[in-house]
Each structure stands twice: as C-alpha cells, then as structure tokens.
C-alpha cells in the first residue's frame, strides 16, 4: 500500500499446513539465504624493524625457548682474511670485532658486513703491562680531543659498525675520566660499548650507569687455553651462566683454529637444548624492552 506520506510494506506469512496435509497451491521449496559474512579485515602492517647502529635494520628478537641467549664475539679480525673466512660461513649469528690500522682491516670489515654478521670496532687501548695495543690506540696520556680523534678515525675506517669493544685496555678501563670520553662518543655515534673485562678492576659498568648508557659485558673467554677440550668446557660455562642469568657473552679470537670447529660442532646441540644464539645488539635491545 502506497500512502501519500511514503511507502508502507506489509509482509504476510502463510501459516504452516496442518500435519498430513500438502500446502495449497502445490509443493513449495523454502530457500534460506545465509547472512553475508562480515568483510575480512586486512591484517595490520607490521611495524618497521628497528635500525641497527651504523645502518641497516634488524628484526625484532624472536620468541625465545626460555633457556637463555648466547652471544659469541670473535676478536682480532683484520690481521689476515684466511682465518676470518671460516667464521663468516658459520650458520648462526656472530659478532666480529675488527682491529683498525692493519693491512686487511677495511676488507675484513667489508666481508663481515657482506656475510650478514654483526661488525664492531675492536678498539686498541693501553694495557697495564705495557704491551703494544697496535695502531689507533687510546692512551691515558691523551687529551679528550685526542681520544675522540683517534676513535673517530678508527670508526671511519671500519664503519659502519654496531658497537665497539676494547682490545687489551686494562689501563684504560680502570680510568673513569677516559672511559667517560669513550662512552660519550659511543652515545653520539649511536653504537654500543662492550667491556671485554680484561681487568677485574674495570670501572666501565659504574661509569656507564652514571651516564645512563647500556653496555655489554664479557662473561667468558673461550680460548685462553688453545685446546679443544678447554674451549668446550668454557662454552659450557657460558651456557650455565645463560641458564642462570638469561644470557652470556663469550669472547674468542679469529686466529684460534680450533674455535670455529668447536662452535660448528656444538651449534646444533645448543639449539636443540633450547638456547638461542644472538648478536650483542639484539641482546641489548631485548634487555632494554
């Protein structure tokens, strides 16, 4: 019925026939049309991965099995390229530290980046025993400007890098004033500092806390004794620390011919036991969340 003020529709529903009787007008088929499904919503776009210091991006840390994170840092790259190649083929994450001012320093850094491994500067620093730390070193007699200039030259040669750690340095890492200069430069450059803890008297953690800078700290040296059985034992020491504390940072050296074989042998077992290998930048990002 159409009225003057609009459209009125009436729907009449025929009552169902009495039991045993066919409906009038022949057989009828009732068709029930299901409601249309709600339109699918597109999944939200993933947030962009965070920037790696020195360029590029890394994915957010994966969900961990819960037994701990293991970080392997390999020092002293740059002396030659032959020793480095085996570490570049390692299937898991590694952080590789390159010494500056050597014949193969820049090429070693380039190959590490090309292999997708994490690259850091292995910054030479003065030692208590008077050993020669090598080119580009930081000494206690330097002014603040000289320290900054030396480290920046090294970063220009090796970079972009994710961080730096100390090569030797037992006389520098006990000096709060020098370490304030080094850590301030790290903050300016957007890179982390790893304290290799070459002396038990290091003041780096105290200075970093005062400056509100997150740092990494070495837990285990892997190859002080250059024997396979000893290296395996030290890896297990790191594994125990990771299970107790959540993570462990272990340092070895690129010239250690047994070390890469040990790591390749242990790697599948460590993963099967529920440990996660990571880089130091990922570990620090995980801890900061």
**Tens digits of residue pLDDT in 2-11:** 343 343 333 3
Domain boundaries, the chain: 69-288
* 66 confidence band (pLDDT: 50, 70, 90): low
Dihedral sign, Cα of residue 254, residue 260, residue 261, residue 266: positive
Q: Rounded to an integer, what distance in angstroms lies between the CA atom of residue 179 and that of residue 184?
A: 8
256: DSSP letter: -
Query: Cβ(183)–Cβ(213) under 8 Å?
Result: yes
Q: What is the mean pLDDT of residues 165-184?
A: 98
pLDDT for 202-231, tens place per residue? 999 999 999 999 999 999 999 999 999 999
CA distance linking residue 90 with residue 86, whole number of Å: 7
Q: Which superfamily does CATH assign the domain made up of 69-288 to?
A: Glycoside hydrolase/deacetylase (3.20.20.370)
Both tokens of 97, joined, read: 């530290």
> Using an 8 Å Cβ cutoff, are 244 and 66 in contact?
no
Q: For 68-89, how does the pLDDT look when each residue is reduced to its tens digit (9 = 90+)?
A: 999 999 999 999 999 999 999 9
């Amino acid at each position: 019925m159409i009225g003057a003020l609009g459209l009125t529709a009436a729907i009449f529903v025929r009552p169902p026939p009495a039991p045993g009787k066919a409906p009038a007008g022949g057989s009828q088929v009732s068709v029930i049309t299901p409601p249309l499904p709600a339109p699918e919503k597109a999944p939200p776009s993933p947030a962009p991965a965070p920037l790696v210091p020195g360029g590029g991006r890394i994915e957010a840390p994966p969900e961990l099995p819960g037994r701990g994170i293991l970080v392997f840092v390999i020092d002293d790259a740059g002396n030659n390229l032959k020793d480095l190649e085996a570490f570049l083929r390692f299937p898991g994450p590694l952080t590789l530290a390159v010494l500056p001012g050597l014949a193969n320093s820049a090429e070693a850094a380039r190959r590490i980046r090309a292999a997708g491994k994490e690259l850091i500067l292995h910054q030479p620093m003065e030692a208590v025993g008077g050993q020669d730390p090598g080119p580009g070193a930081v000494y206690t007699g330097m002014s603040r400007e000289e320290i900054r200039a030396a480290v920046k030259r090294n970063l220009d040669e090796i970079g972009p890098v994710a961080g730096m750690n100390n090569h030797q340095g037992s006389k520098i890492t006990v000096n709060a004033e020098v370490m304030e200069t080094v850590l301030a430069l790290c903050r300016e450059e957007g890179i982390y500092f790893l304290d290799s803890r070459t002396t038990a008297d290091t003041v780096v953690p105290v200075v970093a806390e005062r400056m509100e800078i997150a740092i990494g700290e070495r837990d285990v040296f892997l190859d002080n004794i250059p024997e396979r059985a000893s290296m395996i034992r030290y890896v297990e020491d790191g594994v125990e620390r990771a299970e107790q504390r959540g993570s462990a940072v272990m340092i070895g050296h690129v010239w250690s011919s047994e070390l890469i074989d040990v790591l390749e042998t242990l790697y599948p077992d460590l993963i099967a036991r529920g440990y996660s290998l990571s880089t130091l930048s990922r570990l620090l990002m995980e801890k900061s969340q």
